[in-house]
Structure 1
């Protein structure tokens, strides 16, 4: 199988792929919500699922409009702490807590970032690169928010 990011797609095909990616992310969060019993963990997963739905809706609107709206300032990627490298990815269970839910969400978002980065690189120099850069920036902002929450609640300075 060839690497997905090695080719560039038409606007419609690219947006359809992004919609599929966001739908898959939403389904992963929904499955996790159904599994986890801890109230705080469920809330984190619910917020992340709602973000996926917002992304999907904006892309579906873009299909209707024939373009992806957005301002340049929101298209810049934000720095992240790369917590996915130090936090072990685990499947969630009924007894998973808030920390485990955050780690799960961090890894799902990192997967989305990797997908959109490959797509942007595959379309480098083409008009579609801008679309994937915008989505990539959106995803990095979401990852940064999750990492900030993890840092605030679970990383001590001692």
Structure 2
């Protein structure tokens, strides 16, 4: 049985979420170290810092024994599902903004899917709400990236 099919204690759930955020941060960090394009690195840096902030909030909740009631996490935000049309490729030294955004969109979509599966695995239990709220925050990150991609590469101008 996979981790997403069972419900966990508050502490175990937060540890899993922290690990997810840390893994995403490491992916962004590797991209920052590989990519030469400054604008692409800036996007990856911003997303890495978002992951660190998210991880910090989760670690803080672990220490305090509860999650705060952030209002922005109450609902998921709609996304365009660009991950379905953008190919998933590793970053290379010559990757530009388009590739960095596509890479980040896939990372955020993976995180969103993880949290949605965890929420479903805990349906009816208090932990489901925690995973749902974290997933909602991931949907906000994903929307931000998709909006950037749309503005730069899908405009009709």
- Cα RMSD of the aligned pairs, angstroms, is 1.0
Is the contact between residue 73 and residue 134 of structure 2 (CA under 8 Å) also seen in structure 1?
no
Alignment partner, residue 74 of structure 1: 73
Residue of structure 2 in register with 1:63 after alignment: 62
Q: Aligned to 1:157, what secondary structure does the other structure show? A: coil
Per the alignment, residue 148 of structure 1 pairs with 147
Q: What is residue 130 of structure 1 aligned with on the other side?
A: 129
Which whole-Å CA distance do the structure 2 matches of 1:128 and 1:9 have between them? Answer: 7
Task: Give SS of 1:64's match.
Answer: helix
Partner-residue secondary structure (3-state), 1:60:
helix
Normalised TM-score (structure 2): 0.97
Shift of residue 4, structure 1, vs aligned partner: 2.0
Query: Does the CA-based 8 Å contact 2:72-2:137 persist in structure 1?
Result: no
TM-score normalized with structure 1 length: 0.96
Which ranges in structure 1 are unaligned for 5 or more consecutive residues? none
Alignment partners' CA distance in 1, 2:19 and 2:12: 11
Contact 1:4–1:118 under 8 Å retained in 2: no
Residues 73, 45 of structure 1: CA spacing in aligned structure 2 closer, same or farther, 3 A cutoff? Answer: closer
Deviation at 1:5, TM superposition (A): 1.2
Counterpart Cα distance in 2 of 1:73 and 1:141:
9
What does residue 14 of structure 2 align with?
A: 15
In the alignment of these two chains, the number of paired residues is: 157
In the TM superposition, what whole-angstrom CA distance separates every residue of 1:2-35 from its partner, at most 9, and x where no partner exists? 3321100000000000000000000000001000
Aligned to 1:93: 92
Q: State how far apart, in whole Å, the 2-side matches of 1:43 and 1:71 are.
A: 27
What's the CA shift string for 1:82-105, capped at 9, x where partnerless? Answer: 000000111110000001000000
Judged with a 3 Å threshold, the aligned counterparts in structure 2 of structure 1 residues 73 and 32 are, in CA distance, closer, same or farther, namely closer
**CA contact 1:89–1:104 (8 Å) conserved in 2:** yes
